[in-house]
Structure 1
Amino acid sequence: MLGTTAVTAAISLSMWGLLAQTNGLNGAARATARLDAIKTALTVGAGIGGAVALLLTLRRQWLSEHEQIHREEVDASTEHDATERRITELYTAAASQLGGDTAPGRLAGLYALERLAQDHTAHRQTIVNVICAYLRMPFEPEPPSADMAAWSEERVVRLTAQQILTDHLIVSAEEADEWLSDSPSADPKFWPGIELNLAGATLLHFEFAMRRAELVNFHGTRFVGYTNSSHAELAGHAYFHRARFEGGAGNFRGAWFGLRVVFSGADFGEHRAAFDGATFAGMVFLKDATFGSGVSLDDARALADFNTNWGSERQWPPGWRERPITENEPMPRPRLGRWTRAAQPTPGDETWTVLVRDEPGQAPEPGQ
């Protein structure tokens, strides 16, 4: 309708203007001029009609494309909502199984949660939190005098929960040379950026070697049996205050500690605590820990110019201190360390300090 009106108006105005120019002519000249004026007006109308038709076609195309985009957005939103509802249903079912009365049901719930976390990265941390919460539930590691079967089954469930958490934090041996970088692991099984809250949990033979986590909270955790955290990469804060290592050594050889590591009030029991070749890149609180058979920091090193936004305090165990690297002294490269040649500090590098034992008769430095 709008196009027809525009064409009619264009023809009328053109014809009126052109015919007005023939008023001074007479006879055959006037007839010929008036005929040409009519032809010209019709041509103008045809041109405008074509332009209007093109505009209408473009408008219909624009509307069609935007309707298609809208339909795709609606379909995507509907699909997303359906996926989220499905995830919620699976999560609820798995969590219900984890809280069930039978060990096979709890195991099924754990594996269902693991599969959800593997397939849906946005829900990983939530699922990790659920598994950590399960491990924080009370558990007595010593076999009871009665109901041995139920205790044995629960022990299997808890070991499985531990393994699910730690299996997805492994830094592969092929990536060991990249451990000082922020590059993500190429292993699709690896879950980056995970935070573990296992405060107050009872962990059995906890295997955390070669694992990488963003933050770990082991405040008051009981580590029962041999605990292996050698070459672990703890990028952020690592809380071990009041943790107890029972029946096995606390092995942190070659580990990397990031912003802050706290062992205040930790009890390493009767075994020697090993931090040989470890790297400390932030605040350190090791002074107030209990080392029943001593502590070893041979070939350990500390970042001198570290991030002090969280504080600058460092408390080393009695008998140990930091010492700057001397001018021609190479940084020790321990057999158990994971330093590449490219990452190895040069002699006299002021960026790093080494951990050494106090010399006999030497007074402790301030803060030691």
Structure 2
Amino acid sequence: MRVLLVSEDPAHLDTPILPHLEALGVSFRFVYLGALRKAGNSGLAGKLRRYMPGSNIVNAIKAAVAEFSPDIVHIGLGRTVALPVMLALRGTPRVPVVFAHGAIDGLNILSPFDWATYFNRRVTRLLLPSRAHVNNWMGRQIFRRLIDPGRCHVHPHPIEVLPSLSEVERGALRAGFGLGADDIVIGTVCSIRRIKNLAFVADLVRRMGPPFVFAVVGSGSEAETALIKQAGGDRLRLLGRIPDARRMMSAFDIYVTPTRLPGESFGLAPAEAMAAGVPVVTMNFGGTAEIVEHGLSGLTLPFNQHAWVRALKLLADDEDRRRAMGMAARERIAARFSAEAIAGNCYDLYVSLIGQKAS
């Protein structure tokens, strides 16, 4: 089985599954567009130029298709990755094409770029990271007309389970970020934006008072950060951006993701927190509500302040339950979202598409 994989760079969300797919007999040819793009792609003008791929990029993809004769073309995240692929495939024999998408929203029927990619019938399957994502699209009549549900395939992100920390290591980690040994640390890692709804939790934690603190890893606009500061008061700990933040999630007692409707497309950071053995509290909608098993590996709650306060206090008062949920969370990620498991999902899709092509 030959798969041409086109992505912006070698490091992408599906990189961990590639060795497992190769072990199953998949041969890859890679085209990395970042190495082909001309200088000057920074800033707004550079971003706009990415929507107008040069002939060198299109021709490189054409050459790879002609030389490799792929059974499947797999396109990584982003319109600017898909656009030159679709241009390169014009006039070539039909081959199954799969195209990955991340954000739960963002389609625009007025955009010619979306008509050239998402709504293009030459894309055989759209890879979406959760069933919630599929439902969000199919809940809109216009999208149901443009994207047949059969073209959507749930393809979650692979998650690595890191080694557990000892209590001494965990205490040192917390101290390094200024988090007290007796604090109940409610944490989150994200890009600070309005849809992340962090002020909701910041306000709850401020009103609950000591020993609760709300630790936020990430950065965002001054306006949104100011809103969170006002809501969280002296209970807020803004830790800024931290490289490879998943390695510090063990410092949290509880991980929260209070994203507004339509919720997370998948919830990469919450899944990484689960992989670190931290119970997750999330809204009962969106992709995270599929990852978290309510009452087992965390809690999925309605958008209701009283429900969240009760849940956070319940977990804070029961260390044994937090530990049990954290263990269940690690086990769920290892069983359902490991690189090997997601590679199997992808391989089965490849096989089905090749079978359809041959029939």
Compare the two structures and name the one with the higher helix fraction: 2
The interval holding the TM-score normalised by the smaller chain is under 0.3
Q: Higher RCO, 1 or 2 (CA under 8 Å, sep at least 6)?
A: 2
Report the structure number with the largest CA radius of gyration. Answer: 1
